[in-house]
Structures are given as C-alpha cells and as structure tokens.
Amino acid sequence: MFRTLTFTLTMIKTLFFILGTGFLLTTLSILSISEAAVIAVDYGTNWFKVGLVKPGIPLDIVLNSDSKRKTPSVITIRGEERIYGTDAVNLGARFPFNTYFSLKQIIGRLADDKYVQAYQSIFPNKIIPDPLRGTILFQHNETTTFSIEELLAMQLSYARELAEATAHESIKDVVITVPPYYNQFERQAILDAANIAGLHVLSLINDETAVGLNYAITHFSSFTEEPQYHIFYDMGAGSTKASLISFKTVEMKDVGRFNKTVINMDVISIGYDKTLGGQEIDIRLRSYLAEQFDKTYEGKLKKSIFKSPRAMTRLLKEANRVKQILSANTETVASLESLHEERDFRLTITRSELEAMIVDLVKRVNGPIQDVLNNAKMTLANVNSCVLVGGGVRVPVIQSKIKEIVGEDKIAQNVNGDEAAVLGAAFRGAGLSRQFKVKEIKIKDIASYPIKVDYESELKESEDGSMKNKIFRTILFDEYTSVGTRKIMSFKRTSDFNFSINYGNLNENILDDFGPTDIATAKVTGLSDIVKEHNDNGIEQPKVKVTLQLSDSGIVSVIDAIATIEHQTISDKIKTFFGVNNKSDEALKEVPFSDEESTPSDNASQSIPGENNTQTNDTEQIQKKTESIPLNLEVEYVGIKPMGINEKDAAIRRLRAMDETDHRRRAREEARNNLESFVYNMQDFLSDQIVIKVSTDKQRKELETKSSETSEWLYGEGEDASIESLRTRLHDLRSLEKPIVYRRDEHTRRPEAVDTIQSAINNTREFVEKIKANTTGERYHTDEELDKLLNVCNKAEKWLDEKIIEQDKIEPHVDPVLTTADIERMLREIEREFIIVATKKPPKKKVTPPVTNDSENTNNVNNTDSDPKSTTTHVEETPAKHDEL
Ligand SMILES: *[C@@H]1O[C@H](CO)[C@@H](O)[C@H](O)[C@H]1NC(C)=O
Ligand SMILES: *[C@@H]1O[C@H](CO)[C@@H](O)[C@H](O)[C@H]1NC(C)=O
Ligand SMILES: *[C@@H]1O[C@H](CO)[C@@H](O)[C@H](O)[C@H]1NC(C)=O
Ligand SMILES: *[C@@H]1O[C@H](CO)[C@@H](O)[C@H](O)[C@H]1NC(C)=O
Ligand SMILES: *[C@@H]1O[C@H](CO)[C@@H](O)[C@H](O)[C@H]1NC(C)=O
Ligand SMILES: *[C@@H]1O[C@H](CO)[C@@H](O)[C@H](O)[C@H]1NC(C)=O
Ligand SMILES: *[C@@H]1O[C@H](CO)[C@@H](O)[C@H](O)[C@H]1NC(C)=O
Ligand SMILES: *[C@@H]1O[C@H](CO)[C@@H](O)[C@H](O)[C@H]1NC(C)=O
C-alpha cells in the first residue's frame, strides 16, 4: 500500500513535468502498473531521436554520448568495431565504403528500384540484390555483406543502449515513427530490423500523426466540441509530408455518474513529396561545389573530383554545413583542406546563389499542401493553422514560400518542430504499453493506400454451356480506412479457393515509384474435404468468413478463415466430427461479399462489419443450426517478402556476436584507460606532502619504478595487451599503492575522528549530569542505567587516551595503531547505550498534566534545551539506527 502510494505521488510529480504548467492534473494521468520503460525512436534520414517514458522521470529525449538530443543516423563498421553517430559521420570521409548514410531512403525497397539508383548516385556503397528476396545487401568488403535490415537493427540497438543508460534498466518496448507514405514492405522492413535488434514494437506510427499527438498533448486546453483543423507540414532531410488532422473534444460516459472528456484526433488526409527534402538541397549544393572545384583546377587534376568517393563524402558534409550557415547569413565560405589530390578548396557562396540552385524545389513546396487539402475536399479557409516541422522548413526561401501559400498568420508558433514527433511517439508508447494509464486521446489514423482483394468465383455453367468463372476485384480497405481495423469477407464456396491481396487503384503518380503492389496470396483449404465428407447430411452451401486485418502499424494480414455450415438438425455424427459447436456468431451480419450473381460494389465492401465480429442481429431467423469450423489458411507474401525466420535468426546471431565483441572491446578500453590514468596520476600522488610523510623513500621508489615501467609497456609492447594483463598490471600497482593510501587517509581523518568521539563523551556525560541534577520532576531513569552509560564513556575515554599515546610513539609511515575504524566502533558503542537511555519513556501516569499528546518525544523531555549541541550530536543519528533497536 505504502509503496503504491508513494509511487503514485512520484507519477503525479512526473505528470507536472510532462504537462508543464498550463495543464490540469486531470487532463492526463500516467499511473504506472509496473515499472517498465518504453522508448520511441524517430528514425530520420539524417538524424534519429530517442524518447523515453519511465515511471519516476519526466517523459523526455534521451541524450546521446555527446550529450546531444539527436544523433546522426549513420554507422561505420571497421573490422570488428561499429561506430555510430557523429563519430561515424567523421569517419565517413575516410571510409566511405564502410560508412552507411541515409538508409531510411531505401529501406524496404528492391535492389533494382529507382530509389536505390538515386541512392547510388549519391553514396558510393556497393549494393547487390539479396539472392532470396531481391532486397538490398551492402557489399561491405570482399567477404562480408550486410542486409539493410541488419544495419538498421544495429542503429536501433544503439538507440536502445542510449536509452538504457538513462533509464538504468533494460528496455524492450518501442514505438517507431515512419513516413505516412511507407507501404507494407517498408513498414515490414522496419519491423524486421527492430525484431533483429531484440525490440518489441508496440506500434509503428506515422510521423505526422506523432507530431499531431504531441500537439494534442501540448494544446489540450484549446480544444472544444467544435473541431479544429491543422496542417502539419514536415520537410525532413529525405522527404516532405503534410497531414491534415482534426481535433475535438467528446464527452463520454465514465464510471458512475461522471462524464469524461476525450480528445478525438482524426487524420483526415495526407500529402507528400517523397524526394523533396533538405538532403536534395545538400546534393545540389555539393554538385555545384564539385563543379567549381574541377573548374578551379582545370587541367591540373588527374581525375575529376566526382570520381573520388572520399572527397565527395567530405563535400556533402560541407554542403550541409554551408546550407545551415546560409539559413542565417547571406554569405559564407566553403572551405576544405586537401580535398582532392592534395588540393585545398575555398569558395565564397551566397544565399542567392544557393536559392538559384533550388528554384524548382521551392516550386514543389506547395504540392503536399494542395494534396492534403484536395484529398480532404477542404480549402485553407477551413484550416486553423499550419504547424511547421523538420529541418527543411528552416531554409529561409522554403519558409517564406510556405508563408506565402498558407498566409503568415496561419503559421503556428511555439511548436518544437524538431522533437514533436519523437515526443508524440513516446506518448503513444506509454498509452500502448499498458504499463501506464494515459489520458484518452482517440487517434484515428488512415491507411494511406487502398488495399484490394482479388479472387475468382467457382466455375459455373454459363449460357453457352461452357464452364466459366468470374474475376472479382474489391477494395477492402480504402486509403481512408482507419488503421487497426478488421474486416470479414464472406464467400459462398463448396471447394478450396484462393485470393490475393494487393495495393489497388493507385494512380500513375503513386505507382511510378511505389515498388511492388502485390502483397500476399492466401489459400484456403480443408473446405472441399468437409463438404465431400458430409454431402448427404443436409448441409447447405457453406459460407466461409475470412478475417483480414490492417494493423495499427499499417500492415495487412489474414487472421483466419472459418467455414459456417448451416443444417436443419444436428446429427450427433456431425457434432462429434466438428467438435466445436455453435458460436454466437451464427447470425453475424452478412454482407453480400459473395461471388454470386452480381459483382459486389465497392460500396458493399465498405459496409462489411469491422473490428467487432460479435455483432448479433438475427437477419436469418430460420430454425437452423450453424457450425463453425476453422479452415486451413496458407498465406504467402509476395512483392517484397518479409525476412524469413532462418534469415532473421542468422542476423540475430551475427549481431549478438558483434555485440559481444563490442562489449569486450569496450571493457578492454576501459581497463586500458584505468591503467593509463593510474600511471598518469602517479607523479601527483608521489609528490603529495602527506604521502611523503606516510611512506618511506623505498616504498615510493618502488612505486615510481613500477609505474614508469608500466607506462613504457603501455605504449610499447602492451599496446595490444589483453584485458587480463591490463587488469593484472593495475592490480599489482594498486597493491603497492594501497597501504600508502590507507596511511594517508588515516593520517588525514584521525584528528577529526578523535575530536568527534571526545565531544560525544563530553556531551553524553553532560546529558547524564542533567538527568541526575533534575530535582523538579520525577526521575524515571535508574542509577544503574545511567551508570552503565557513563561506564561506556569512561571505557572509551581510557582506551582513547592509551591509544593516542601509543600512536604518538610510532612513525607515520608505519600502519597506525589508533585507526578511524576502531574509533568508529567505540562511538557506536556509546551511541547504542545513549539511545537506550534517551528513548526510555516515562511510566504512564493516571493523572497527567495537559501536555500528553507528544509522548513520542518524551525522550528529550529531560533535556533542558539550554544546550542544543548535546542533542544534535547524538539524537540526530537516532533515526538511522532506530531499526536496529
Ligand atoms: C570485412 O568486414 C568485416 C566486418 O567489418 C570484417 O570482420 C572482415 O575482417 C572484413 N574482411 C576483410 C577481408 O577485410
Ligand atoms: C454527460 O454527457 C452527456 C452527453 O454525452 C450530457 O447530456 C450530460 O449532460 C453530461 N453530464 C454532465 C454531468 O456533464
Ligand atoms: C488460385 O486459384 C486459381 C483457380 O481458382 C488457380 O488458377 C491459381 O493458380 C491459384 N493461385 C494460387 C496462387 O494458388
Ligand atoms: C456507391 O454509393 C454511392 C452513393 O452512396 C453511389 O453514388 C455509387 O454509385 C455507388 N457505387 C457503386 C459502385 O455502387
Ligand atoms: C465486441 O462487442 C461486444 C459487445 O458489444 C464486447 O463484449 C466485445 O468485447 C467486443 N469485442 C472486441 C474484440 O472489441
Ligand atoms: C438489430 O436488432 C435490434 C433489436 O433486436 C434492432 O433494434 C436493430 O435495428 C437491428 N439492427 C440491424 C442492423 O438489423
Ligand atoms: C571535553 O571536556 C574536557 C573537559 O571537560 C575538555 O577539556 C575537552 O576540550 C572537551 N572536548 C571536547 C571535544 O569538547
Ligand atoms: C526535570 O524533569 C521533568 C520531568 O521529568 C521535566 O518536566 C523538567 O523539564 C526537567 N527539568 C530539567 C531542568 O531538566
């Protein structure tokens, strides 16, 4: 009980942190059920950010090892070593083939995809197709390849490590942001990578949805029953996305007579430009700089700078730097030493020159805004504000273009665009983990693309006598369907059948760079056998209900296929055959999804009962019994297959082995650092005045010799020494140093310790004197008790006096006879007796003066408060020692 209570209080405190000052406590409450942290990763093209939700600490961004709030999404692999973030960026120019940038652009794509081609025109890494899946493998060196999922998994692992260092616990649960335009394959690749990293993905979340959620949390009090519409416009490094989201409050019945206010947040439409982003600006600028370089040294170069991956990698970094400076200045200098063929590069570049390079990009800024409005059938007049997110919107010419489009007054202020997505995602994680109770914000996010099911009817005799079947193509989830929806398809069938799931009705613009559109084929079997077996048992044509799901993460899957068979009576025979019987879904509302007569319209599929299939309404009131039999379901993923179990296991083993090497390497580095700093600090130690006093020349000489010997060894033959020999050396040195450190510490602390015990003795005696001297009140301490306390004091004093004399006789470089540990022990002895006396309560009297209610404190009653020192010295320690009594 007590624990729960304090914990709740902690959480309420946390809450204030989360909410800032402008919120009511009731608007959001996180109550932890069990202490398990959840993280969110906003994995971007250039940067990733990590958010942490953990009971007891405020929801916040995790700092990386450089104490920064964001980390470059870059990894370098050198031999056995993996390097992340800024260090990897810096190594990128030296090891361009072993450093991986901007993986987000090509995750979940086929190796021959146009995005991959574009990627290869920017980065020199060698890409080959995975022989099984056609996906991306990086040829790291002659002997090693890494799949893109593995490289992403390493970075997710690293993100988790950063969070674990902050949370001081291991973390499994994660929410990861993805662009809303990611399709099934791109989403699946992220899930596979997380899986390899040993993370449990609570959900993927579209990044603008996360930004919207963060907006909902920070603008909670401004919502009303009247919906507000906001456009979230996000120009990141890789792409630009816009979402139109509405927010309103809804009163809902809560327990008892209470209502609660729930926020409804609906994603209404999305728009995007998959290749418009900050990185495209960097690339333009880089090309310009490279051209200028070639021009400057025309005729003097062996080969063009464009042919040097190292120089081009450095130049891309420089272009990014120049771009950022030009956001705040009108002119700057690009400068790199020994850039290519030992030649330096220096060029003044102005903001207007940069702007001239991106005129066409600026024109595209409007695209996502228009799309989002068109898709929602709304105009800017309906929109309350436009929230700008991402690094791209900080480029002045981009920002002024957006202002020109939406009007300056509609640009929302005071929104932390950089971290909104990761904070929103972390909040979502808190809600999904069930470890926290989070204020209800009902989120409706949309599917982004229509998902279609294709199937054929059973063969039927047509008018001309030939056997024919019809082909049906039905949109099951349209692009505005909420994610987290289930739909049931109902087929009238007498034999096994199959159907395929794919992205349907995509317009040409989308198809152009979409990737594969086929998602899966599903085979339903077992039906033919059942029908054959019981053909003569009065079974009518069976219906088969197939449940499909569009998960919160936007992944389509087939859940199950169940045959429902109606017949007049239940013969015991069938009963025993079917085993299971009569579920309550016998009257599930059937929507004509059959391949009978008429082609099912798109509209019909919309009305298929969704999420809850226990709806009951007897539309067929005939006295029939219904049996439900699960059928076999074989789903084969096509398009881009998810990673297979074996592939994943191999990747997990491989990463684990690399992790172990990393840990060993880090442990060795630590051992080396410890030894280095020991040796480094030795001179200071040896020249310390007290150290000189408490050690002999011989001892110091020995330590010095051994230390400089180690120093030489460290930078000589010990360069590659094993962790064990590093540790042994340190241990040997420490064992020489240890006795000196001991004497030094004793020497320093002894006077104070002696003083402490002496005043303890004095104060205790004074305390006893006062009790004995009190003649006004009735004394309830016996002489025996008081004498016992005095005896301890006397004994301690005697011991101390003897020891002091003894100690004075010996040299300081000999181990002391009067140790602080012994003094401490003596002090505890006095304290123990003191507490017995001091906490003794007076006997209860029938007739008591009115001062009774503070009986707990009567231990101090005999103490005239004339001498505060006497109480502080001892009583202060009482609470700590209390339990032992
Ligand atoms: C290839 O790279 C891997 C991983 O960095 C490394 O372990 C291996 O030694 C390298 N092989 C060669 C031939 O360089
Ligand atoms: C609760 O909400 C209902 C509408 O859902 C409303 O009619 C009723 O007045 C509300 N009650 C309170 C106490 O606010
Ligand atoms: C699905 O069934 C049809 C016949 O209805 C057959 O022609 C086709 O090959 C099947 N497809 C798969 C993937 O099994
Ligand atoms: C779908 O419904 C709309 C109106 O609700 C109607 O105009 C349209 O013709 C229907 N489409 C089909 C294919 O039946
Ligand atoms: C479906 O609805 C019924 C009653 O309306 C409810 O008891 C059940 O929990 C719901 N199931 C799901 C999966 O939401
Ligand atoms: C379901 O049945 C209830 C009463 O039994 C009726 O009010 C309701 O309209 C029916 N719904 C449908 C969709 O048939
Ligand atoms: C303790 O008392 C003695 C005499 O009463 C005095 O000389 C000494 O300074 C006192 N020591 C401390 C630490 O108070
Ligand atoms: C003496 O003892 C009585 C009761 O025990 C107390 O009320 C009183 O304050 C004490 N006087 C002194 C001087 O300690």
Domains and CATH numbers, the chain: 38-276+364-444 (3.30.420.40), 278-363 (3.90.640.10), 451-642 (no CATH), 644-843 (1.20.1270.10), 845-877 (no CATH)
Dist. CA 665 → ligand 2 center (Å):
63
* Structural element, H or E, at residue 827: helix 820-838
Residues 6+ apart with CB under 8 A from 315: 286, 289, 290, 293, 305, 336, 339
Residues 6+ apart with CB under 8 A from 559: 486, 547, 548, 549
Q: How far apart, in whole angstroms, are the C-alpha atoms of residue 280 and residue 237?
A: 8
Q: What's the full length of the chain, in residues? A: 885
What pTM was estimated for this model as a whole?
0.73
Angle at 310 between CA 307 and CA 316, to 5 degrees: 95
Dist. CA 77 → ligand 1 center (Å):
9
pLDDT tens-digit readout, 404-431 = 999 999 998 767 788 999 999 999 999 8
Ligand 1: which of 99, 141, 142 to mutate, most ligand atoms within 8 Å of CB? 141
* Structural element, H or E, at residue 769: helix 723-773
Q: Whose CA is closest to 316, among 577, 93, 610?
A: 93
Asked if residue 555 lies in contact with residue 574, where contact means CB atoms within 8 angstroms, the answer is no
**Sign of the CA dihedral with 753 first, then 758, 764, and 770 last:** negative
Asked if residue 792 lies in contact with residue 854, where contact means CB atoms within 8 angstroms, the answer is no
Question: Residues 863, 869, 873, 874: what is their CA dihedral angle, to the nearest 10 degrees?
Answer: 0
Dist. CA 455 → ligand 4 center (Å):
22
Residue nearest to atom 9 of ligand 3 (CA): 498
Residues of the chain with pLDDT under 50: 1-34, 570-623, 848, 850-885
**Sign of the CA dihedral with 650 first, then 666, 140, and 115 last:** positive
Ligand 7 atom closest to the Cα of residue 761 is 1
Residue 552, pLDDT score: 94
Asked if residue 501 lies in contact with residue 473, where contact means CB atoms within 8 angstroms, the answer is no
**What secondary structure letter does DSSP report for 633?**
E
- Residue that has been written with the tokens 């001498």 in this structure: 867
Within 10 Å of residue 639's Cβ, how many Cβ atoms?
A: 19
Residue 780, pLDDT score: 83
Q: Which amino acid is at 848?
A: T
Ligand 7: which of 755, 759, 827, 830 to mutate, most ligand atoms within 8 Å of CB? 759
Q: Whose CA is closest to 73, among 41, 112, 47, 97?
A: 47
The two tokens of residue 577 are 């055959």
Q: How far apart, in whole angstroms, are the C-alpha atoms of residue 387 and residue 739?
A: 66
Ligand 2: which of 249, 250, 259, 264 to mutate, most ligand atoms within 8 Å of CB? 259
Residues 6+ apart with CB under 8 A from 842: 778, 780, 858, 861
The pairing of beta strand 81-84 with beta strand 75-78: antiparallel
Alpha-helical regions (H) of 148-277:
148-167, 184-196, 207-218
